[in-house]
Amino acid sequence: MKRIETEDEHQAILTRINELWDAKPNTPEGDELDKLADLVVEFEEDMELIRLVESRKDQPETTVDINDL
């Protein structure tokens, strides 16, 4: 998997991470855990950015005159 695209994929990967939680480093399971954790971090950062943009898009614009500073 290159990227998490949906919340369902996100939840499925979180479930898999729980299953792999005690995996030892440098094993196939440990490597899988590392890759899945990276995917989750990327997805959650993207979702946070999307939520931020969506929350700002309905707010009125604010303009500042440089002379007012």
| Sequence spans of domains, the chain | 22-50
Instruction: Write down the pLDDT at residue 48.
Output: 94
Tokens of 37: 């954790």
What confidence score (pLDDT) does residue 55 get?
Answer: 82
Q: Which amino acid is at 18?
A: N
pLDDT at position 3, please?
95
Q: What is the pLDDT of residues 2-30, one digit of tens each?
A: 999 999 999 999 999 999 999 999 999 99
Q: Are 36 and 13 in contact (CB under 8 A)?
A: yes
- Cα atoms found within 13 Å of the Cα of residue 19, Cβ hemisphere only: 9
C-alpha–C-alpha distance, residues 15 and 10, integer Å: 9
How far is residue 40 from each of residues 15, 34, 59, measured CA to CA in Å?
A: 11, 10, 29
List, for residues 30-68, the tens digit of each pLDDT value: 999 999 999 999 999 999 999 888 887 777 777 777 887
